[in-house]
Amino acid sequence: MKPRNPARLMQRGPELIAPAGLRLIAGSLLAAVLLSLLPWPRAGLWLVPEFPLMVLLYWNTHEPRRTPLRLAFGLGLLADVGHGVLFGIHALAYLAASFLALMVQRRLANFGPYGQALQLAPIFLGMKLLIVLLGLAMTQGVADWRQLAGGLVAALLWLPMCLLLNRLAGRPDEPPSPGS
Amino acid sequence: MSRAPHSPLFAREMGLPARFTLYTLLCLALMAVDARYNALAFLRLGIATVLHPIQNGLTRPFLYLDDALEFFTVHGAMLRENRELKEAQIAAKTDTQTLSSLRMENAELRALLGLERPSGYTSRAAEIIRVLPDPFNRQVLLDRGTRHGIEAGLPVADAQGLVGQVTRVFPLGSEVTLLTSRGQAAPVQALRTGLRLIVSGLGQDRMLEVRFLDMHADLQAGDVLVTSGLDGIYPPGIPVARVLNVQPPKDTPFARAVCEPISQVGAHRHVMVLRRDREQP
């Protein structure tokens, strides 16, 4: 059940973009997971964004059919083990972010990387906030509110990541002009 | 109305909000199960077994880079360190002499009292390969696991003092919760007075505290706290913390002492996992 044909064939004109291959999607997600597993210096840990989530949201925006919610769930579980926290904390945060991005996917796809970064910033921030709050609720620790900065870093890094993945996917940086 | 791209292609598929709700419930259930019953250890074990070799491989280049940088350490720093070490050695020599006499005396006294010798501990060196980025717990990942005889609950120390305790073990790695993380505690004894206390973590890097200290307790800034060994987990006599200041009681009937941990987790890459010898009763 690959939903590539009917909808695509109906479109005409220069903005017809070939769908990204599964290998590119899987490869970029794998690279993001590896990036998140790097030994980041302890002092700057709070600045490190959730790389897998950034790549996931990129594909949510551009290939919503190929990135179902269960992908967010799986990546979140992986992040939970990588971070050494309770199962489900990152999974829930990833799910929520992916869900919101899919809900506004139509809107996001009509913006360039800058506009997307602006609109995704609240999602990244809210997701970090959710992680901190869930951690507070489940472990009764003290919250490190600096963690929220990681969400802003994710929004800042959205731009270079978009440009890179656009090149790899053979996709123009600006969205197709509306009204065609 | 045009179909949203994420709405299901066929009516049998659930809509996005429904799927999101289901997954959310699953996540909440996972969290509750993991927090309360520790029932998901096998799942974590499976994922970690795959992740750890990858993490190890990713860390290696950085470790080699560190080593290479260390190689080019400034000559002067080495000289200074050498001089300091020499001085320390002289001081240590005199200490050793008194120590050997004290040890003999101690052995005699023990024999006299008919007490058991404190059981021996063997140590196993391990390398810190990663600092886990969980803001609520201070944890590090070691490169030794059940394959190397590490068990959950074993104490971990470095060359200076107590570091923490192994909290999760995997075949090829283990997670150590540092003493500085909130909720960790160790029974200690003040070296100067023999006063028994409990020192606990605050969730900050270079700070520990003694809560509920007796108002009249004889504890001063500069006192060294060592493990008392009364809990049966930490072997006695490992330096833990140095008292920075003692705060008199304000609103509570208890005083509070702020201490600084003696171990240097940030500075070293190697730690020792201590393990009680099996042949001891």
* B chain contacts of residue A63, beta-carbon cutoff 8 Å: none
Distance from CA of residue B126 to its chain's centroid?
12
pLDDT for the residue B100: 78
Q: Collect all residues with Cβ–Cβ distance below 8 Å to B159 and sequence separation of at least 6.
A: B268
If pLDDT is split at 50, 70 and 90, which confidence band does B138 have? confident
Residue B141 class from Cβ within 10 Å (0-12 exposed, 13-18 middle, 19+ buried)? buried
Give the C-alpha separation, A165 to B261, whole Å.
Answer: 46
To the nearest 10°, report the CA torsion of B126, B265, B128, B45: 100
Contact A103 B129 (CB under 8 A): no
Q: Is the Cβ–Cβ distance between B199 and B259 less than 8 Å?
A: yes
For the beta carbon of residue B17, count every other beta carbon within 10 angstroms: 10
**DSSP state at residue B236:** T
Task: Please provide residue B186's backbone torsions phi and psi, each rounded to the nearest 5 degrees.
Answer: -145, 135
The CA–CA distances, whole Å, from A12 to A5, A9, A170, A174, B178 equal 13, 8, 18, 18, 61
Q: Which two tokens stand for residue B14?
A: 């659930």
**DSSP state at residue A35:** H
Pick the CATH number of B185-261 from 2.40.10.350, 2.170.190.11, 2.30.30.830, 3.30.70.1430: 2.40.10.350
Q: Between A65, A87, A144, which is nearest B34 by CB?
A: A87
Domain boundaries, chain B: 16-61, 73-117, 185-261
Sign, Cα dihedral of A118, A119, A121, A124: negative
pLDDT for the residue A46: 84
pLDDT for the residue A97: 94
pLDDT for the residue B187: 92
The pLDDT tens digits for B115-131 are 444 457 777 888 888 88
Q: Which domain holds residue A98?
A: 48-169
pLDDT for the residue A65: 84
Total domain count for chain A?
Answer: 1
Give the C-alpha separation, B279 to A12, whole Å.
Answer: 80
Q: Å from A30 to nearest chain B CA?
A: 12
**DSSP state at residue A38:** S
Give the C-alpha separation, A72 to A67, whole Å.
Answer: 8
Interface confidence (ipTM) of the complex: 0.79
Q: Collect all residues with Cβ–Cβ distance below 8 Å to A97 and sequence separation of at least 6.
A: A53, A56, A57, A72, A123, A124, A126, A127
The pLDDT tens digits for B41-59 are 788 888 888 888 888 888 8
Q: Between B31, B44, B131, which is nearest A138 by CB?
A: B31
Q: Between B35, B62, B134, which is nearest A83 by CB?
A: B134
To the nearest 10°, report the CA torsion of A159, A160, A162, A164: 170
Contact B139 A46 (CB under 8 A): no
pLDDT for the residue B117: 41
* B chain contacts of residue A4, beta-carbon cutoff 8 Å: none
- In a mutagenesis test of the B interface, which of A66, A85, A105, A110 is the best target, namely the one with the most B β-carbons within 10 Å? A85
Tokens 């010898």 found at? B277
The average confidence (pLDDT) of chain B is: 82
Tokens 């960790």 found at? B184
Q: Å from B36 to nearest chain A CA?
A: 10
pTM over 0.80? The answer is no
Q: Is the Cβ–Cβ distance between A76 and A92 less than 8 Å?
A: yes
Strands B196-201 and B270-276, by their bridges, are unpaired
Give the C-alpha separation, B244 to B204, whole Å.
Answer: 15
How many helices (H) and strands (E) would you count in chain B? 3, 12
**Is residue B86 scored above 80 in pLDDT?**
yes
Task: Please provide residue A179's backbone torsions phi and psi, each rounded to the nearest 5 degrees.
Answer: 90, 10
If pLDDT is split at 50, 70 and 90, which confidence band does B112 have? low
Q: Which two tokens stand for residue B224?
A: 């060294």
Q: Which two tokens stand for residue B71?
A: 């190689």
Contact A86 B34 (CB under 8 A): yes
Give the C-alpha separation, B30 to A87, whole Å.
Answer: 6
Task: Please provide residue B16's backbone torsions phi and psi, each rounded to the nearest 5 degrees.
Answer: -60, -50
If pLDDT is split at 50, 70 and 90, which confidence band does A5 have? low
Instruction: Judge whether A21 lies within some domain.
Output: no
